[in-house]
Structure 1
Amino acid sequence: MPQLNPAPWFAILIFSWLVLLVVIPPKVVAHIFQNEPTLQGAETPKTESWTWPWQ
């Protein structure tokens, strides 16, 4: 019964973890946002009450 032989499945497991831990993180970390977010001021915007024309 080949499913009881751990050699090929263990190799697949090790290779998949190698790909996940070595190849993919540098690609994710190297990602650059196209538009860097800008910091907004600490002051709150001035809000005015809405005048409903139908009331």
Structure 2
Amino acid sequence: MPQLNPAPWFLIFIFSWFVFLSLIPPKVLAHTFPNEPAPQSTKTPKTDPWNWPWH
């Protein structure tokens, strides 16, 4: 693999990460979920025992 001059590529690398870190996080953090989770009740639901047909 040939050795590349890092001068232009390092600037492109830094600039692309700057764009990535300045544009993407605000878009992700601005996302709202349509269904906010509701608090769970502390009451335990009544469960019926399972009737196995062969038991």
Q: Give the TM interval when normalised to the shorter protein.
A: 0.7 to 0.9
Q: Percent identity?
A: 61
CA RMSD across the alignment: 1.9
> Runs ≥4 in structure 1, deviation > 6 angstroms?
none
Gap regions ≥5 residues in structure 1? none
Aligned to 1:35: 35
Give 1 or 2: higher helix fraction: 1
Gap regions ≥5 residues in structure 2? none
Structure 1-normalised TM-score? 0.75
Tell me the distance in 2 between the aligned counterparts of 1:34 and 1:50. 36
Aligned to 2:50: 50
Tell me the distance in 2 between the aligned counterparts of 1:2 and 1:12. 17
Tell me the distance in 2 between the aligned counterparts of 1:26 and 1:44. 40
Tell me the distance in 2 between the aligned counterparts of 1:43 and 1:28. 36
